[in-house]
């Protein structure tokens, strides 16, 4: 597959561009992808995980620049990584970076995943409360889907389950 942009090189990156909620798919070579991602913030990456590493740098740059104008570069207390450095290498230095760069993280996560909160497995050590909370979150999403699909019987069952779990959470 040829690159949509330069029509010369092999397209190795597949990008969904979102304009006013409309998605268009682009196939680009690495070079064009990098150029595009720097200048256009409406890009969502769908590239393969490891070759993606290389141009993640370019991808994070616009967010970083935006942020740069607003405040001073800060660094993570855990590992000393600064946000500009992160935007260069595309990787955090330690798990505490997530806390340190919280402000910049949300728009990035929204772009990468469409969401900013976790749903799913929770380590057992985290105990019951956390598990119940995450189960409620999941059921609520399922409920919304059921309502949207006008499956009212399923919705009623889900609503009861949520109520039950919320009571359990209140009791503990």
- Residue 10, phi then psi, degrees to nearest 5: -65, 130
Residue 15 CB, nearest distance to other proteins (Å)?
Answer: 8
Binding mask 66-95 toward Zn ion (x if CB under 5 A, else -) reads ----------x-xx-x-----------xx-
Q: Which of 70, 72, 125, 148 binds other proteins (CB under 8 A)?
A: 125
Q: How, if at all, do strands 43-45 and 22-28 pair? A: unpaired
Residue 60 CB, nearest distance to other proteins (Å)?
Answer: 9
Q: Three-class SS of residue 17? A: strand
Residue 53 binding: pick among Zn ion, other proteins, none (C-beta 5-8 Å cut-off by kind): other proteins
- Residue 89, phi then psi, degrees to nearest 5: -95, -15
Indicate if the alpha-carbon torsion angle 101, 103, 106, 108 is positive or negative.
negative
**Binding to other proteins by residue 95, rule CB under 8 A?**
yes
**Binding to Zn ion by residue 97, rule CB under 5 A?**
yes
CA distance 36 to 58: 9
Among 33, 81, 84, 26, residue whose Cα is nearest residue 55: 33
Q: Please, are residues 52 and 80 in contact by the beta-carbon 8 Å criterion? A: no
**Binding to other proteins by residue 78, rule CB under 8 A?**
yes
Q: Which of 72, 117, 153, 170 binds other proteins (CB under 8 A)?
A: 117
Residue 1 CB, nearest distance to other proteins (Å)?
Answer: 5
Q: Which of 6, 74, 130, 156 binds other proteins (CB under 8 A)?
A: 130
Q: Which of 33, 56, 57, 158 binds other proteins (CB under 8 A)?
A: 56
**What are the residues binding other proteins (CB under 8 A)?**
1, 10-12, 14-16, 23, 25, 27, 45-53, 56, 78-79, 89-96, 98, 105, 108-109, 112-126, 130, 138
């Amino acid at each position: 597959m040829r690159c949509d942009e330069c029509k010369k090189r092999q397209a190795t990156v597949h990008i969904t561009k979102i304009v006013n909620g409309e998605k268009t798919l682009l196939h680009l070579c690495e070079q064009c992808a990098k150029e595009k991602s720097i200048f256009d913030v409406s890009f969502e990456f769908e590239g393969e995980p490891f070759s993606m590493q290389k141009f993640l740098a370019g991808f994070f740059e616009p967010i970083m620049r935006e942020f740069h104008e607003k405040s001073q570069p800060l660094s993570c207390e855990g590992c000393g990584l600064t946000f500009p450095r992160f935007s260069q290498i595309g990787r955090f230095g330690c798990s505490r970076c997530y806390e340190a760069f919280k402000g910049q993280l949300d728009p990035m996560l929204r772009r990468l995943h469409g969401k900013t909160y976790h749903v799913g497995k929770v380590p057992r050590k985290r105990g019951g409360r956390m598990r119940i909370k995450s189960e409620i979150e999941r059921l609520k999403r399922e409920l919304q889907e059921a309502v949207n699909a006008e499956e009212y019987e399923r919705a009623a069952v889900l609503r009861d389950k949520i109520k039950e779990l919320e009571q359990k959470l209140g009791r503990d």
